[in-house]
Amino acid sequence: MSSINYDERIPNNVGIADNRRLKRALEAWQPAFLDWWRSNGPDGFMEKDVYLRTAISVEPDGWMNFDYVKMPDYRWGVFLMPSSDERKINFGRHKGEPAWQEVPGEYRAPLRRMIVIQGDTEPASVEQQRYLGHTCPSLYDLRSLFQVNVEEGRHLWAMAYLLHAYFGRDGRDEADALLQRHSGHEDRPRILGAFNEETPDWLSFFMFTTFTDRDGKFQLASLAESGFDPLARSCQFMLREEGYHMSTGERGVGRIIRRTCEVMCEHKTDDVRKHGVIDLPTLQKYVNFHCSVSMDLFGAEISTNAANSYAMGIKGRFREEGIDDDHLLTDASYPVEAWTGSEFKFSDEPALTTLNERLRNDYYAECARIVDSWNEIIREFGIAFELRLPHHAFHRAVGSFAELEFTPTGELITKEQWNENHDKWIPNDDDHVFVRSLMQEPVTEPGKFANWIAPPDRGLNRLPLDFEYVRLS
């Protein structure tokens, strides 16, 4: 096997070339990664030149380098934010102690598991989005999809590096397994349910990057507080790139809404499907589905695993340092909403065991702000319609609401009522068929956009909208 110049081929600031054991491990893993990428990455575009951003360092002028590249030749790097010899653990029973530079033996298994779960989500989303390029609404959006894909690949590299560098043979086996599970596979599915759902169309992609990638943000931000310093510093850099993924979704949905509103006003009708755009009630259904599925990713409201991870110093809270408490939580409580049988009621539960619910509430509050920004677009056009997030209990498969059925406004209903009415609240087969019907043919002429989505306000990296973001010829 030919040796790889990792400082050139794989930009990094972790000294791969100087660590013989790690270098050998990655030399064995990289060909398997490239095989996975070619087999499961964007279908049909591997030999196309794509105008991509590549990170070559963590400095401000080092992580936004734009140029044309074929995706298999992309330089997937491994980056940790700069270390601080004075960094302390900010929470849990080890609060005030120096952050760990090596894996504490007693926490080896839970740390490895947490890294594996995070790592498993990264290639999963690439697999889910594999065929979207064939129905792109523009070259601008096609390039955005591919940027998200290659950066999810880089995030996989970040977690695989940690497994290889700090967890020995077990870590190498887990890194191999990240390439062996596949989204939606009958025998070897991805670990988390939302990452086995299909992403069959561009509306689903924009909703996914809005809601599910936003879950990723909150999970990464919690891991960025970790007492295990290499994990914290890896996640701190990943958060930079995650911001682009979320903005791709948020702005994409906003552009769809804008185009729908333009057509509603032009034709003075709410019935806009016949004019080739997505009606607002259908958009509401997609919000209901993607928000509720993503809410499940935070886990059960009461969780001893979350409590143990916090107490051990492995995973903190969102923006831990800004929270005004003792960061031990041994005597603290947190209000949790539950269904009593007749009403929703908050009860104070131990703060340590309700960390999942606190993080979910932080996430839900940010999602509400995003939805309000979409409603601002609708209000611009003077249209009497408002998108809303579904109630916390709606369409849940994890936690205390999983065995119950609720409407999007939080009204308890029977299973029979759910079966009769769920087509009104989440996308049904007809909705999926209609949305896909709008996206049968890709729009690949520079500067042109599909009828169902408005152009963005400006191009990427100060380039015009008619720039050839992907060279298809």
Residue 151 CA, distance from chain mean position: 11
Is residue 246, in this structure, part of any structural domain at all? yes
Distance CA(434)–CA(423), nearest Å, equals 14
Is residue 45, in this structure, part of any structural domain at all? yes
User: Between vectors from CA 71 to CA 33 and to CA 78, what angle results, nearest 5°?
Assistant: 55
Is residue 122, in this structure, part of any structural domain at all? yes
What predicted TM-score, i.e. pTM, was given to this entire model? 0.96
Distance CA(471)–CA(384), nearest Å, equals 42
Domain, as residue range, for 96:
6-471
Q: How many domains does the chain have?
A: 1
Q: What is the pLDDT of residue 7?
A: 58
Helix, strand, or coil (residue 8): helix
Q: What is the pLDDT of residue 293?
A: 95
Q: What is the pLDDT of residue 1?
A: 40
Cβ contacts of 24 within 8 Å, gap of 6 or more: none
Is residue 194, in this structure, part of any structural domain at all? yes
Distance CA(445)–CA(186), nearest Å, equals 38
Other Cβ atoms within 10 Å of 31 Cβ, number: 11
Supply 281's token pair.
């009630």
The amino acid at residue 140 is Y
Distance CA(450)–CA(157), nearest Å, equals 34
Distance CA(12)–CA(55), nearest Å, equals 9
Kindly report the length of the chain: 473
Is residue 1, in this structure, part of any structural domain at all? no
Question: Residue 441 belongs to a domain with what CATH number?
Answer: 1.10.620.20
Q: What is the pLDDT of residue 2?
A: 46
Is residue 409, in this structure, part of any structural domain at all? yes
Task: Name which of 305, 358, 365, 304 is nearest 333 in CA terms.
Answer: 358
Q: What is the pLDDT of residue 85?
A: 77
Q: What is the pLDDT of residue 472?
A: 96
Mean pLDDT of residues grouped by 10 in the chain (473 residues)?
A: 58 92 91 97 98 91 90 95 90 97 97 97 97 98 98 97 97 97 96 90 98 96 97 96 96 98 98 98 98 96 97 98 96 96 96 98 98 98 98 97 97 98 97 97 97 97 97 93
The amino acid at residue 314 is I
Is residue 16, in this structure, part of any structural domain at all? yes
Q: What is the pLDDT of residue 351?
A: 98
Is residue 95, in this structure, part of any structural domain at all? yes
Express the helix, strand and coil content of the chain in percent, nearest 5 each. Answer: 50, 10, 40
Q: What is the pLDDT of residue 5?
A: 58
Cβ contacts of 8 within 8 Å, gap of 6 or more: none
Supply 78's token pair.
């491994």
Q: What is the pLDDT of residue 399?
A: 96
Task: Name which of 9, 50, 68, 13 is nearest 237 in CA terms.
Answer: 13
Distance CA(331)–CA(72), nearest Å, equals 52
From residue 210, alpha-carbon distances to 21, 109, 313 in Å are: 39, 32, 29
Helix, strand, or coil (residue 69): strand
Supply 446's token pair.
């520079």
Q: What is the pLDDT of residue 63?
A: 81
DSSP alpha helices (H): ranges in 268-354? 280-296, 304-312
Cβ contacts of 39 within 8 Å, gap of 6 or more: none
Helix, strand, or coil (residue 88): strand
Distance CA(92)–CA(169), nearest Å, equals 29
